[in-house]
Amino acid sequence: DVKVTQSSRYLVKRTGEKVFLECVQDMDHENMFWYRQDPGLGLRLIYFSYDVKMKEKGDIPEGYSVSREKKERFSLILESASTNQTSMYLCASRQGGEKLFFGSGTQLSVL
Amino acid sequence: RKEVEQDPGPFNVPEGATVAFNCTYSNSASQSFFWYRQDCRKEPKLLMSVYSSGNEDGRFTAQLNRASQYISLLIRDSKLSDSATYLCVVNGLAGANNLFFGTGTRLTVIP
Protein backbone atom coordinates (compact mmCIF):
# COMPACT_ATOMS: atom_id res chain seq x y z
CA ASP A 1 0.00 0.00 0.00
CA VAL A 2 1.02 3.60 -0.47
CA LYS A 3 3.00 5.18 2.28
CA VAL A 4 2.90 8.92 2.82
CA THR A 5 5.30 10.02 5.52
CA GLN A 6 5.27 13.37 7.29
CA SER A 7 8.44 14.27 9.13
CA SER A 8 6.92 15.38 12.43
CA ARG A 9 3.82 14.32 14.34
CA TYR A 10 3.86 17.27 16.73
CA LEU A 11 5.65 20.57 16.37
CA VAL A 12 5.78 23.64 18.59
CA LYS A 13 7.15 26.88 17.14
CA ARG A 14 7.28 30.52 18.10
CA THR A 15 5.67 33.40 16.24
CA GLY A 16 7.90 34.63 13.45
CA GLU A 17 9.88 31.42 13.05
CA LYS A 18 10.31 29.82 9.65
CA VAL A 19 8.75 26.36 9.66
CA PHE A 20 9.36 23.47 7.28
CA LEU A 21 6.96 20.55 7.02
CA GLU A 22 8.23 17.66 4.93
CA CYS A 23 6.23 15.00 3.16
CA VAL A 24 7.47 11.96 1.24
CA GLN A 25 5.45 9.40 -0.72
CA ASP A 26 6.78 6.11 -2.02
CA MET A 27 4.43 5.24 -4.90
CA ASP A 28 5.62 7.60 -7.62
CA HIS A 29 2.39 9.61 -7.50
CA GLU A 30 2.18 12.67 -9.72
CA ASN A 31 -0.05 14.69 -7.46
CA MET A 32 0.69 15.87 -3.95
CA PHE A 33 -1.30 18.13 -1.68
CA TRP A 34 -1.04 20.08 1.53
CA TYR A 35 -4.19 20.61 3.58
CA ARG A 36 -4.90 22.08 6.95
CA GLN A 37 -7.73 20.81 9.09
CA ASP A 38 -9.45 22.90 11.74
CA PRO A 39 -12.50 22.02 13.86
CA GLY A 40 -15.72 22.89 12.10
CA LEU A 41 -13.96 23.91 8.89
CA GLY A 42 -12.95 20.55 7.51
CA LEU A 43 -9.98 20.13 5.20
CA ARG A 44 -8.84 23.17 3.26
CA LEU A 45 -6.35 22.98 0.43
CA ILE A 46 -3.25 25.12 0.85
CA TYR A 47 -1.21 24.08 -2.20
CA PHE A 48 -1.19 21.37 -4.80
CA SER A 49 1.59 20.04 -7.04
CA TYR A 50 1.06 17.95 -10.17
CA ASP A 51 4.70 17.48 -11.11
CA VAL A 52 8.22 18.33 -10.06
CA LYS A 53 8.66 22.09 -9.71
CA MET A 54 4.98 22.63 -10.55
CA LYS A 55 2.57 24.05 -8.01
CA GLU A 56 -0.84 25.62 -7.81
CA LYS A 57 -2.41 27.66 -5.08
CA GLY A 58 -5.27 26.14 -3.22
CA ASP A 59 -7.98 27.88 -1.26
CA ILE A 60 -5.80 29.34 1.49
CA PRO A 61 -2.21 29.84 0.25
CA GLU A 62 -1.52 33.09 2.10
CA GLY A 63 1.38 32.79 4.50
CA TYR A 64 2.59 29.53 2.96
CA SER A 65 4.90 28.44 0.19
CA VAL A 66 5.81 25.01 -1.16
CA SER A 67 8.67 23.24 -2.83
CA ARG A 68 8.74 20.15 -4.99
CA GLU A 69 12.27 19.48 -6.19
CA LYS A 70 11.83 15.72 -6.39
CA LYS A 71 8.74 13.76 -7.33
CA GLU A 72 8.49 11.97 -4.02
CA ARG A 73 8.91 14.99 -1.78
CA PHE A 74 6.60 17.96 -1.21
CA SER A 75 7.52 20.53 1.40
CA LEU A 76 5.33 23.15 3.03
CA ILE A 77 7.00 26.30 4.31
CA LEU A 78 5.60 28.82 6.73
CA GLU A 79 7.78 31.85 6.06
CA SER A 80 6.94 33.58 9.34
CA ALA A 81 4.71 31.49 11.58
CA SER A 82 1.72 33.16 13.18
CA THR A 83 -0.66 31.95 15.87
CA ASN A 84 -3.51 31.59 13.35
CA GLN A 85 -1.45 28.92 11.62
CA THR A 86 -1.83 26.62 14.59
CA SER A 87 -3.54 23.63 13.01
CA MET A 88 -3.33 20.02 11.90
CA TYR A 89 -1.45 19.83 8.59
CA LEU A 90 -2.08 16.88 6.34
CA CYS A 91 -0.08 15.89 3.30
CA ALA A 92 -1.67 13.66 0.68
CA SER A 93 -0.88 12.10 -2.68
CA ARG A 94 -2.80 10.48 -5.48
CA GLN A 95 -2.26 9.17 -8.99
CA GLY A 96 -4.57 10.87 -11.46
CA GLY A 97 -8.15 10.71 -10.23
CA GLU A 98 -7.61 7.73 -7.98
CA LYS A 99 -8.11 7.67 -4.23
CA LEU A 100 -6.21 10.02 -2.00
CA PHE A 101 -3.67 8.77 0.53
CA PHE A 102 -2.87 10.86 3.58
CA GLY A 103 0.15 11.14 5.80
CA SER A 104 -0.33 10.85 9.55
CA GLY A 105 -0.50 14.60 9.97
CA THR A 106 1.51 17.22 11.82
CA GLN A 107 -0.13 19.03 14.70
CA LEU A 108 1.56 22.44 14.67
CA SER A 109 1.25 24.83 17.56
CA VAL A 110 2.52 28.38 17.12
CA LEU A 111 3.01 30.23 20.40
CA ARG B 1 -23.69 26.97 -1.38
CA LYS B 2 -20.96 24.57 -0.31
CA GLU B 3 -19.72 22.02 -2.82
CA VAL B 4 -20.25 19.18 -0.37
CA GLU B 5 -22.47 19.15 2.70
CA GLN B 6 -22.78 16.67 5.49
CA ASP B 7 -24.82 16.58 8.67
CA PRO B 8 -22.11 17.04 11.33
CA GLY B 9 -24.00 14.99 13.89
CA PRO B 10 -23.12 13.79 16.41
CA PHE B 11 -24.88 10.51 15.85
CA ASN B 12 -24.99 8.51 19.09
CA VAL B 13 -26.23 4.97 18.47
CA PRO B 14 -26.27 1.78 20.54
CA GLU B 15 -24.17 -1.20 19.59
CA GLY B 16 -25.87 -3.31 16.98
CA ALA B 17 -27.85 -0.44 15.49
CA THR B 18 -27.98 0.47 11.85
CA VAL B 19 -27.01 4.03 11.02
CA ALA B 20 -26.97 5.95 7.76
CA PHE B 21 -25.24 9.16 6.71
CA ASN B 22 -25.92 11.25 3.66
CA CYS B 23 -23.72 13.68 1.85
CA THR B 24 -25.01 16.08 -0.81
CA TYR B 25 -22.93 17.62 -3.57
CA SER B 26 -23.67 20.62 -5.73
CA ASN B 27 -21.90 19.87 -9.01
CA SER B 28 -23.91 17.46 -11.14
CA ALA B 29 -20.80 16.74 -13.24
CA SER B 30 -18.92 15.27 -10.27
CA GLN B 31 -17.14 12.13 -11.28
CA SER B 32 -15.99 10.08 -8.33
CA PHE B 33 -16.98 9.73 -4.74
CA PHE B 34 -15.37 8.37 -1.60
CA TRP B 35 -16.06 7.79 2.07
CA TYR B 36 -13.15 8.26 4.45
CA ARG B 37 -12.97 7.44 8.13
CA GLN B 38 -11.05 9.66 10.50
CA ASP B 39 -10.26 8.78 14.10
CA CYS B 40 -9.55 11.49 16.63
CA ARG B 41 -6.19 13.17 15.96
CA LYS B 42 -5.42 10.79 13.12
CA GLU B 43 -5.38 11.12 9.36
CA PRO B 44 -8.38 10.26 7.17
CA LYS B 45 -8.25 6.76 5.75
CA LEU B 46 -10.21 5.47 2.80
CA LEU B 47 -13.21 3.44 3.88
CA MET B 48 -14.67 2.83 0.46
CA SER B 49 -15.11 4.28 -2.97
CA VAL B 50 -18.70 4.80 -4.11
CA TYR B 51 -19.71 3.30 -7.42
CA SER B 52 -22.74 4.13 -9.52
CA SER B 53 -24.27 0.72 -8.93
CA GLY B 54 -23.71 0.89 -5.19
CA ASN B 55 -21.21 -1.26 -3.36
CA GLU B 56 -20.93 -3.21 -0.17
CA ASP B 57 -18.01 -4.17 2.03
CA GLY B 58 -19.04 -6.30 4.95
CA ARG B 59 -21.27 -4.22 7.22
CA PHE B 60 -20.80 -1.09 5.10
CA THR B 61 -22.87 -0.15 2.08
CA ALA B 62 -22.28 2.92 -0.06
CA GLN B 63 -24.71 4.27 -2.60
CA LEU B 64 -24.78 7.06 -5.13
CA ASN B 65 -27.92 8.88 -6.21
CA ARG B 66 -27.00 11.07 -9.16
CA ALA B 67 -30.53 12.36 -9.71
CA SER B 68 -30.69 13.83 -6.21
CA GLN B 69 -26.94 14.45 -6.00
CA TYR B 70 -26.10 12.65 -2.82
CA ILE B 71 -24.08 9.71 -1.61
CA SER B 72 -24.91 7.62 1.41
CA LEU B 73 -23.11 5.33 3.81
CA LEU B 74 -24.99 2.65 5.72
CA ILE B 75 -23.41 0.85 8.65
CA ARG B 76 -25.16 -2.27 9.89
CA ASP B 77 -24.64 -3.94 13.26
CA SER B 78 -22.61 -1.01 14.63
CA LYS B 79 -19.53 -1.85 16.68
CA LEU B 80 -17.83 0.29 19.30
CA SER B 81 -14.86 0.43 16.96
CA ASP B 82 -16.98 2.20 14.33
CA SER B 83 -16.90 5.35 16.47
CA ALA B 84 -15.15 7.94 14.30
CA THR B 85 -15.79 10.85 11.98
CA TYR B 86 -16.87 9.93 8.47
CA LEU B 87 -15.88 12.28 5.66
CA CYS B 88 -17.37 12.29 2.22
CA VAL B 89 -15.08 13.33 -0.61
CA VAL B 90 -16.25 14.29 -4.08
CA ASN B 91 -14.10 14.64 -7.16
CA GLY B 92 -15.60 17.38 -9.28
CA LEU B 93 -14.73 17.92 -12.89
CA ALA B 94 -11.83 15.91 -14.28
CA GLY B 95 -8.58 16.83 -12.64
CA ALA B 96 -6.66 15.58 -9.66
CA ASN B 97 -7.14 18.86 -7.86
CA ASN B 98 -10.91 19.02 -7.99
CA LEU B 99 -11.53 17.37 -4.65
CA PHE B 100 -14.14 18.62 -2.26
CA PHE B 101 -14.50 17.49 1.33
CA GLY B 102 -17.44 17.42 3.63
CA THR B 103 -16.78 18.61 7.17
CA GLY B 104 -17.49 15.12 8.48
CA THR B 105 -20.19 13.32 10.45
CA ARG B 106 -19.29 12.26 13.96
CA LEU B 107 -20.49 8.81 15.01
CA THR B 108 -20.34 7.46 18.56
CA VAL B 109 -21.42 3.88 19.16
CA ILE B 110 -22.52 3.38 22.76
CA PRO B 111 -22.23 0.07 24.65
pLDDT tens for A47-58 read 999 999 999 999
Q: For the residues B36-58, what does the mean pLDDT come to? A: 93
The nearest CA of chain A is from the CA of B42 a distance in Å of: 6
Q: Determine the pLDDT at residue B67.
A: 94
Q: Determine the pLDDT at residue A2.
A: 67
* pLDDT digit string, tens, across residues A53-111: 999 999 999 999 999 999 999 999 999 999 999 999 999 999 887 889 999 999 999 99
Average pLDDT, chain B: 92
Whether chain A has a CB inside 8 Å of the CB on B91: the answer is: yes
Q: Which among A1, A25, A102 is the top mutation candidate for probing chain B, defined by the most B β-carbons within 10 Å of its own β-carbon? A: A102
The nearest CA of chain A is from the CA of B86 a distance in Å of: 11
Provide the β-strand partners of residue B40.
none
| Cα–Cα distance measured from residue B13 to residue A58, given in angstroms and rounded to the nearest whole number | 37
The Cβ-side half-sphere exposure at A37, using a 13 Å CA radius, reads 25
* A13-to-A46, A78, A111, B12, B59 alpha-carbon distances in Å: 19, 11, 6, 37, 43
Whether chain B has a CB inside 8 Å of the CB on A28: the answer is: no
Q: Determine the pLDDT at residue B85.
A: 96
| Cα–Cα distance measured from residue A61 to residue A55, given in angstroms and rounded to the nearest whole number | 11
Which region among A39-43, B80-84, B95-99, B105-109 has the lowest average model confidence (pLDDT)? B95-99
Of A48, A101, A107, the CB nearest to B97: A48
Q: For the residues B74-98, what does the mean pLDDT come to? A: 89
CA B74 to chain centre: 9
CA A54 to chain centre: 15
Q: For the residues B78-93, what does the mean pLDDT come to? A: 93
Which region among A45-49, B50-54, B90-94, B97-101 has the lowest average model confidence (pLDDT)? B90-94
| Cα–Cα distance measured from residue A78 to residue A60, given in angstroms and rounded to the nearest whole number | 13
Q: Is the pLDDT of residue A21 over 90?
A: yes
Q: Which residues of B2-40 are buried (b: 16+ CB within 10 A; e: fewer)?
A: ebbbbeeeebebeeeeebebbbbbeeeebebbbbbbbee
Nearest to B35 by CA among B96, B82, B77: B82
Q: Kindly indicate the confidence band of residue B95, based on its pLDDT and cuts at 50, 70 and 90.
A: low
